[in-house]
Structure 1
Amino acid sequence: MILEKESLGLLQEALARLEEGFHNLPKVDRSPNLDALRTVLLDVAEWMQDNYPYPHPFYVGQMLKPPTEIARLAYTLSLWINPNNHALDGGRASSAMEREAVAEIAKMFGWETHLGHLCSGGTMANLEGLWVAGNLQPNKKVVASNQAHYTHSRICGVLRLPFQSVPCDSRARMDVAALKKLLQEDDIGTVVVTLGTTGTGAIDPLPEILELQSQYGFRIHADTAYGGYFILVDNLDAETRAAFDCLKQVDSIVVDPHKHGLQPYGCGCILFKDPSVGKLYKHDSPYTYFSSEKLHLGEISLECSRPGSAAVALWATQRLLPLIPGGQFAASLSKSRKAALTLFEKLQNDSRFLIQSPPQLDIVVWVVKSQSASESSRLAKEIFKAAAEENLHLAITNLPKELFLETGEEINWDQDSITCLRSCLMKPEHLDWLDRIWQTLDSVTTKVVIGAVSILYAV
């Protein structure tokens, strides 16, 4: 793996430009001990070798996407200032950049007016979304699909909000009939709709859920932490496109720029359609908000100190790669989606694997065919290990048997779940590398399956 280093020369040029803005200050001698720095920094480099090769196309496992060059450079440049976006006193420029960057994300979802800000990630963003929902719908239940991220039930526990999961259909999407039954039987205040579940990339049927909202009056909180940016791509299936086109009708949206937004961790974003929810954040801090009568970002966020560097990096990325359909950013996401569809076709045409419907985004999940769920799970784990030995890094996930009962396959369900192989084809380079990825997967699968047959006959 070769790490991109050519752009580092630009950092020194940019630092010189930054320093020009403070030329009138008295000089301060801060010469570093370069020998000591070098020793420790090289130690850090040694430690960091103990990682999976996340930036490489042969890493197709978890949701890890390298930040773009401009994000790395802008983030690093801003660290010489180290702004704090809680108050304008701690980050004037970076606060303005955050407002602009967040407004562009809101515009991507069709919102010209909004209230929103950056936060440490999807967990904090979802917490704020459900905190507002709980204040507006006190003592009412929050529901999410049983394939939604576990953070929702955990957050509801923190906020002391009643929570219940909703069953899914065979495609890991929220079952609308089951949701309707809950709405008829219970006092539901908020429905969490996931557009891009972390397990399978499934898209909950938002159009149908909006129809139920018109009858039952609940809030809709859209968790698009993973999938939100796919609203820009041109190769979604009709059903998925319809869900994304409805996003502008929900009450709140979460998206994670540190996933498909090409940002360093941690950078999440929470958006509210109705800016008046800002009154719920109202508090007073006379020692903090004194330099400007303008609204400080800390006055509309639950977090206090927040890294202005995250806003600087995001602003720079969106300046270089605008969030527009047909742009370079959207085209890269389309390539990831195409890579997932290509892998799906290869798996579907291979008799050793079981795969259901095509992926809705860029996550592909498949099962190793076997007579029993336990043996299939064992083979999946063996393939996972064997692939890693060949530098192909997959992921595994456990899914409930209910998702596979309609496949027509005769599986002995000797356990309630099955271990699946999973790939997140997040990098646009994955499309160009897919043949090599498939060759390696094919080879290690053959070795594992032949080995399993040999053991069976030996017994």
Structure 2
Amino acid sequence: MRKDSFYRLLHHSIDAQERFRQRWEAFNDDTTVQIDEQTMKEVLSALEEKLRNNYPFFHPRYAGQMLKPPHEIAIAAYLMAMQINPNNHALDGGPATAAMEIEVVQQLAQMFGYTEHLGHLTSNGTIANLEALWISKSIHPEKAIAYSSSAHYTHKRMCEVIGTKHVCLDSFDNIEEDILRHGIGTIVVTIGTTALGKIEPLHDILPIAKKYGVRIHADCAYGGFFMLLAHDQEPIIAHHAFLMLKECDSITVDPHKHGLQPYGCGCVIFKNPEVGKFYKHDSPYTYFTSHELHLGEISLECSRPGAAAAALWATLQCFPLQPHNGLGAILRKTRAAALQWSDQLTKNSTLCEFVKPELDIVTYFPRTKKFTATEVTKCTANVFRHLMNHPTHPLYLATVTVDSHSIQTHYPEFVVDAPTTTIFRSVLMKPEHKDFVNTLLNEIEMAIKIH
């Protein structure tokens, strides 16, 4: 972040609240809420010290999990709105931010190709997926919800929460047979799996699902914003699945991942607005200053921060949902970083690529002298600790456990002496990663040679 300009943005957000308050007569804060400035400074200093126990998510040397700070425009906008503290449960809980939420959700729906929709922001992707599955159960109460073994574990949990039948599929290769065997009413297709960033074959599943009247829910929590790259003449992603998202019954996407937002900001969108009837409730204490449909009538969550809508609205003003500008330009760099990383691994004698990256998540492992599952796991753990604890230039990676036989499929000489193998996984979700690929790979390679 640019320190001087960021300070000015924050001051602008604070001054905006002062101008807002000047519209009403002044009053003194009650003595019960007054704290002297020195006490607050001391508390904040203590907080600063506690927060040192964190990893540098902002830095390209952090190439681990799906984590990065929000953009400064999102922080400043959140701060501005947070001082009002609107509740987007209903229009009079936050009329301005409710309108912003409707606007940004419409932009997201249009990005996916929906011509009409019903949707809202959520606190995270888990709640967004919960709502989509709940609607699916409401429409097909006696049928099962199916998801792949690569899907996020939240789908199994949420099916248990709503008390519906569910089935985990090893693959979608026999989906027509599975629909008939298990009585499937909804299929969850993940566009950007958490572990590998895999794009599941929506374009193959969808025609079969339509044939049997099966709903499709697309979990795009991580990969959704890559939709911006799908319309290129020569796409740098597997675009076929993305181009079919407009045919899905529901979609979830997390702006707090590739949308530059602070946690938590998720989103659920339905293709058919008529699903709103399942949310209908009659509350005697809900806000009624407007006869328009309010967001509380189309959400399982009640209280939701209006500041999240304000932050996303401001961000999309600065980074529009365009393929070559705004967010699209950022995603091109994260995707390019993954492709560059993959290309470098093909020329590397120390590191092996596990699978080709489909988004911006790369997976790889050391080629040990004894090329066995046990030795690779051991070396991965040692290098992981060594890099993270380096005294001057620590490097932060992540790991993932995979089926050892899946490695042997790509590397026949690999010896399966354990059922699973722990390998490296790096999420290159910062555009700055593109210029850091060689540095990161060189340091990983040097650490492997030591161990």
Q: Is the 8 A contact 1:233 1:331 kept in 2?
A: no
- 2-side partners of 1:357 and 1:378: how far apart? 20
2:134 is equivalent to residue 136 of structure 1: no
Which of 297, 304, 307 is 2:305 aligned to?
307
The normalised TM-score by structure 1 is 0.92
Which of 101, 104, 109 is 1:106 aligned to?
109
More moved, 219-228 vs 341-350: 341-350
Q: Secondary structure at the match of 1:191?
A: strand
- The one-character-per-residue Cα deviations of 1:174-195 (angstroms, maximum 9, x if unpaired) are x332323312322101100000
CA positional deviation for 1:160: 1.0
Aligned counterpart, 2:15: 16
2:90 is equivalent to residue 87 of structure 1: yes
Q: Secondary structure at the match of 1:118?
A: strand
More moved, 282-291 vs 203-212: 282-291
Residue type of the partner of 1:379?
A: C
Q: Is the 8 A contact 1:394 1:423 kept in 2?
A: yes
Aligned counterpart, 2:387: 387
More moved, 377-386 vs 49-58: 377-386
- 2-side partners of 1:192 and 1:78: how far apart? 35
Q: Is the 8 A contact 2:17 2:83 kept in 1?
A: no
Which of 63, 68, 77 is 2:80 aligned to?
77
2:194 is equivalent to residue 198 of structure 1: yes
- 1-side partners of 2:81 and 2:294: how far apart? 20
CA positional deviation for 1:204: 0.3
Q: Secondary structure at the match of 1:397?
A: strand
- The one-character-per-residue Cα deviations of 1:174-226 (angstroms, maximum 9, x if unpaired) are x3323233123221011000000000000001110012113222100000000
- Compared CA separation, residues 111 and 206, structure 1 to 2 (3 A): same
More moved, 157-166 vs 351-360: 351-360
Aligned counterpart, 2:434: 431
1:115-194 to structure 2, matched below 5 A, reads: 115-167=118-170, 175-194=171-190
- 1-side partners of 2:206 and 2:220: how far apart? 16
The normalised TM-score by structure 2 is 0.94
Q: Secondary structure at the match of 1:422?
A: strand
Aligned counterpart, 1:352: 350
Residue type of the partner of 2:440?
A: I
- 2-side partners of 1:16 and 1:32: how far apart? 21
- The one-character-per-residue Cα deviations of 1:249-278 (angstroms, maximum 9, x if unpaired) are 100000000000000000000000000000
- Give unmatched runs, 5+ long, in structure 1: 168-174, 449-459
Q: Is the 8 A contact 1:340 1:361 kept in 2?
A: yes
- The one-character-per-residue Cα deviations of 1:333-354 (angstroms, maximum 9, x if unpaired) are 1100000111111222212332
- 2-side partners of 1:412 and 1:360: how far apart? 27
CA positional deviation for 1:402: 4.4
Aligned counterpart, 2:239: 241
More moved, 16-25 vs 127-136: 16-25
CA positional deviation for 1:77: 1.3
Q: Secondary structure at the match of 1:419?
A: strand
- Compared CA separation, residues 92 and 64, structure 1 to 2 (3 A): same
Q: Secondary structure at the match of 1:331?
A: helix
Q: Secondary structure at the match of 2:256?
A: coil
Q: Is the 8 A contact 1:166 1:178 kept in 2?
A: no
- The one-character-per-residue Cα deviations of 1:76-125 (angstroms, maximum 9, x if unpaired) are 11121011111112111111111101111111101131000011100000
Q: Is the 8 A contact 1:201 1:360 kept in 2?
A: yes
2:54 is equivalent to residue 51 of structure 1: yes
2:220 is equivalent to residue 224 of structure 1: yes
Aligned counterpart, 2:445: 442
Q: Secondary structure at the match of 1:258?
A: helix
Number of aligned residues: 440
- 1-side partners of 2:276 and 2:325: how far apart? 33
Aligned counterpart, 2:339: 341
CA positional deviation for 1:239: 6.9
Percent identical pairs in the alignment equals 44
- Compared CA separation, residues 433 and 199, structure 1 to 2 (3 A): same
CA positional deviation for 1:159: 0.9
- 2-side partners of 1:254 and 1:20: how far apart? 37
- 2-side partners of 1:300 and 1:399: how far apart? 39
More moved, 36-45 vs 355-364: 355-364
Q: Secondary structure at the match of 1:366?
A: strand
- 2-side partners of 1:237 and 1:384: how far apart? 34
Q: What's the C-alpha RMSD, in Å, of the aligned pairs?
A: 1.7
CA positional deviation for 1:313: 0.3
- 2-side partners of 1:137 and 1:403: how far apart? 36
- 2-side partners of 1:53 and 1:428: how far apart? 15
- 1-side partners of 2:97 and 2:18: how far apart? 16
Q: Is the 8 A contact 2:253 2:268 kept in 1?
A: yes
Q: Secondary structure at the match of 2:410?
A: coil
Residue type of the partner of 1:46?
A: E
- 2-side partners of 1:387 and 1:137: how far apart? 50
CA positional deviation for 1:364: 0.3
- 1-side partners of 2:116 and 2:365: how far apart? 45
Residue type of the partner of 2:362?
A: V
CA positional deviation for 1:3: 7.8
Q: Secondary structure at the match of 1:386?
A: helix
Which of 203, 206, 209 is 2:205 aligned to?
209
- 2-side partners of 1:334 and 1:24: how far apart? 45
Aligned counterpart, 1:170: none
